Amino acid sequence: MSASILLEVCIDSVESAVAAERGGADRVELCGNLYEGGTTPSAGMIARVRGRVKIGLQVMIRPRGGDFCYTPDEFEVMKRDIVMAKQLGANGIVLGLLDAEGGVDVSRTRELIQMARPMNVTFHRAFDMSRDLQKALQDIKDAGADRILTSGAEPEAERALPVISSLVKAAGDRIIIIACGAMDASNARNIVEQTGVRQIHAGLGAATASPMRYRNDRIAMGAVQGMEYQRMVVPEESVRKLRETLKG
């Protein structure tokens, strides 16, 4: 590939942040609660990750799982979380707000973006849940975001190559399209070549067994049975393989 492709890795732990940096990631997106698609991480988590890695740190601003149509109280929570992320040294934030009809909530998105500056802002995959991707793209441009994260409204980016390509063309120089969705070393090069994206976002988390020897399997602390004794960690080698693939 003639030009460098920026690699962002989604993480939810200090361990994964360090592995991502060592593996060659340019940036991490820090979330809590990835089983619900990612929510705002704790202040302690943001501070510790910031202290351990030097690469770009994007912090998810999402007060809960579920839809992206937020109540006034939830909107106020998002404002306070943006202030927190800024104070703790994040380089940017990741957010997304829709209205009840599936359009971008432009006014509140713009308000949060202005509050976030000088941090950069990515509009996340709430974009993929919108009614009209091209209209949403224009609205997000108008709101002032720097980037849009998208799988082309499909579970996997490979299923939406023409859609992502059309979004890259429509974005022009005003906003950056980041491709995501089941991205790894086996498919990233093809996705980049077919769509023209210059930035990609990958999860890469792998199940890691708990060190607990005593286990009570009769009950679960969360909604997903059987998750008490494993966690998802990003392997350094998976990041390195993806980085090498992108170098081509």
CATH superfamily of the domain spanning 6-247? Copper homeostasis (CutC) domain (3.20.20.380)
Per-residue model confidence (pLDDT) at position 3: 62
Diameter of the chain measured on Cα atoms: 56
Tell me what pLDDT residue 2 has: 45
- Gap between the Cα atoms of 83 and 116, Å rounded: 7
SS3 for 96?
A: coil
CA distance 101 to 95: 18
Tallying the residues shown for the chain, one arrives at 248
Tens-digit pLDDT profile for the chain (248 aa)? 546 999 999 999 999 999 999 999 999 999 999 989 999 999 999 999 999 999 999 999 999 999 999 999 999 999 999 999 999 999 999 999 999 999 999 999 999 999 999 999 999 999 999 999 999 999 999 999 999 999 999 999 999 999 999 999 999 999 999 999 999 999 999 999 999 999 999 999 999 999 999 998 888 887 666 678 888 999 999 999 999 999 86
User: CB count, 10 Å around CB of 160?
Assistant: 23
Distance set, CA 17 to CA 10, 123, 201, 202, 226 (Å)? 9, 21, 14, 13, 25
Place of tokens 């988590």: 45
CA 192, distance to chain mean position in Å, is 18
pLDDT value of position 1: 52
**In the chain, where the domains are located:** 6-247
Beta carbons within 8 Å of 93's beta carbon, 6+ residues apart: 58, 59, 60, 61, 82, 85, 116, 119, 120, 121, 122
pLDDT of residue 229: 87
- CA proximity to 197, closest of 244, 238, 158: 158
Encoded tokens for 176? 């950056």
**Residue 68: helix, strand or coil by DSSP?**
coil
The answer, yes or no, to whether the previous bond of 63 is cis (omega within 30 of 0) is no
Tokens coding 154:
């499909």
